[in-house]
Structure 1
Amino acid sequence: MTDYRLLRVALLGAGAVGSQVAALLLKHADELADRAGARLQLAGIAVRSLDAPRDTELPRELFTTDAASLIASSDIVIELIGGIEPAREHILSAIGSGADVVTANKALLATHGPEIFEAADRVGASVYYEAAAAGAIPIIRPLRDSLAGDRVRRIMGIVNGTTNYILDRMDTEGAEFSDVLADAQRLGYAEADPTADVEGYDAAQKAAILASLAFHTAVPLEAVHREGITAIDKSIMDAARHAGYVVKLLAVCERLDGQDDSPTGEAISVRVYPALVPRSHPLASVHGANNAVFVEAEAAGPLMFYGAGAGGVQTASAVLGDVVSAARRHIAGGVGVGESTRANLPVVEVGRVVTRYQITLEVVDQPGVLSTVAGLLSDGHVSIATVEQTTTIGESDAAATARLVIGTHKAKEQDLSATVERLAASEVVARVVSVLRVEGN
């Protein structure tokens, strides 16, 4: 047996992911030593309560409530407790003690990433976070390393498995949002309070991380435009299907050219919203709770990363990959690899985005309505590409309304938004049913 150097590994948290990481560290100790070039000793598992029930057969002597002492005596610290505090305090403490850090904490990185990375740079430590953006999908290293010499133009990602599960079942089965959400909660895909998922908060955190890497710019979470999927209903899904689209909650990170108020003429847009994706696009075929990230780079062209976006053992795979990388760095020596955020591109509001739209209106069913609607769109610099009357509602002529589904050519978001406000105020429009962006073509 090879006489490997010993590295002490501290694990913070023993939840679904943490318990899997601990079990794999113990089970595959010899294999991991061969891969890392060092023996990875699980020094302890810090938890809030020693008596909390756990679905695990991990040795009880590994558990401790003294996270500070465990961190201080370890070479690599794995943070899997989630949330902001005490995770932030523990990570900064680990970095201060000279340890490398592995984390899956998207919320922490999206809000305090620059502080953490700067602390690591000061002491030559490294922070690894492959599991923070898309679960088991390897996307952090490709963006940070493989594409470091390229120029990423755009990222479109399905980065939340809960919302993809809901939207996929609504599309394939014609089910209603509330029914599928209830099923997702029963199956464990959605929390009892699903707000973070269905309102896009989780995806926004991941979008901030991906954009920061792709564009070498620190992207604050508050700069990410966010919309959820709670307004998506069966009628919207039916209209999308009829038009050849599928609805997906997308994280879109995009490099924008021609920005007069930017020193380089470039800026970036980072946004999360439900969008129409052509059924011919690779993202349209992402089903169930899976995730996928579609990257467009100038030299490499289009790249697709697909796989499980959540799950204890799947996420543990990404975490252990980071642990092996951290161990190899310890063996090789030298300072850690810092994050490149020196581009300092401005992050602009969603109003500057240019894309296509599908507008669904409920209008008065009488002659001349289409001409009025077309005029309002033209006045707002929004050009019609397609228009279809899908249904007529109401039994009497006085109460009858029709539903119009209007596809537009590319328009600026701020022009479209102002035009929709004028449509909503028009006497011929009973209500604006939905406005969805079209992405991926």
Structure 2
Amino acid sequence: MAYAAYLASFTAEEKLYVVAAAQSWQQDKRGTGFFQSVELNSFEDVIHSLGRGLVHDFILKAQEEAAERLNGRLSQKHLLQPTRNQPQRTLSNLYQLWDKLGDVPISDDGQHLDESFLHFGKGAEKETVWRWFEAQNPQFIVGEVVQGIRKTDEQSEIAELAVENLQTGDKVDLRSCPFLKDHATAEFEYAVVESVERETPECVAVSYEAHGVVGYPVGCKLKVSPETMGLRYLQQERQAPSGGHSKLSEVTESDLEAVKTAGFRVHLGGAADGPELGARWWWTLTQPRWIAVESSPHDFATESEVWADAVRALRADPDLNRKIPEALESEVPVQIPLTIEPDALLGDLRRRGFVVSAWNLNDTTGPLENDDATEGLTDEQFLRLQEKLFEKASVSLEDVLTTRGNQHIADIWEMQRCRMLDEVRAKQAETQAPLRGA
């Protein structure tokens, strides 16, 4: 909805400038793949040719160039910053403000504020407020926040304790506290400060009352939560499938490096994953030429726990790190047959190392139909085009499987269809050239 509102907010004059810039690119043979052999008569033609994934970047460049040519007459309200400065606000602060924005009444048309908010007066465009949020921190993306995806702030350098300028958001080194060295919970390496209570001008110790750890004299009391406590040794117990408990042994940096090298990846559930996996962690593992993706049998509350379970899984089954020898795929054909069943196509893609285990050919939509966009192609050419499309899309499909697979295929088609069609037609012309000569 934000994307549609963004496009709808352009004035007629601004749309003309964008079209002029696109036509200029086309004449200068820039933007090959977007505008080649495309009629650019309207703003909609430009947007359609670019595809959703490239609109923002082109609008930025087009408006900058148009503004230069027309002595700054172009309105600046749509300009995007190509590179942003250091975040002006933390994500946690922005999320709090976003929640407050949700309480502000909206006009009947759904596009304007009905009350003032921060420095925005009544009647301010909602889209303008959204762009302000994104300008405060490059990690704050309105589209993700609307979907319920909230990230954590990148942690600053670890600050030692007994420093008087500790503040909220600092990552503190617990090992530097002399009162924790021999304590039962001294396996905690660091924590992120949530709040600070200063009792003396110079802080000389810390109290972690929530964890039963108190240092004396208490000059500075820090509030931390279990989620921010970094462990040197993971000693929590997890419920085993059999109903018993198995302790997690010591996890070292080399262990983490081993599981990452083996291909383990961890994931944090968001709104799209449903309430059961929301804010929960799990791991997945796949190898080239595997026909399926291995995943953790359970989900976890913290990232530390899920990495520890990945270490446990690799220790229990070292074969998870074993690559299938190249010789085993000697029978894989060089090209996909022209007439092929969906299951056979998926099998061939998997043997080639493409990640398609959570997605099925029957799930694909629009872009793979032999319709007006591919007019003039034979069935054979269309199947070859389909194969090439799958090949390109599969490169980055792993991160968008299940919930975003079809949208990803559609985006790839929108962004690259002109060039892909030209390649197919060029090959067709090459094969027909000898026939004409004869």
Q: Structure 1 length normalisation: TM-score?
A: 0.24
User: Whose radius of gyration is greater, 1 or 2?
Assistant: 2
More strand by share: 1
More helix by share: 2
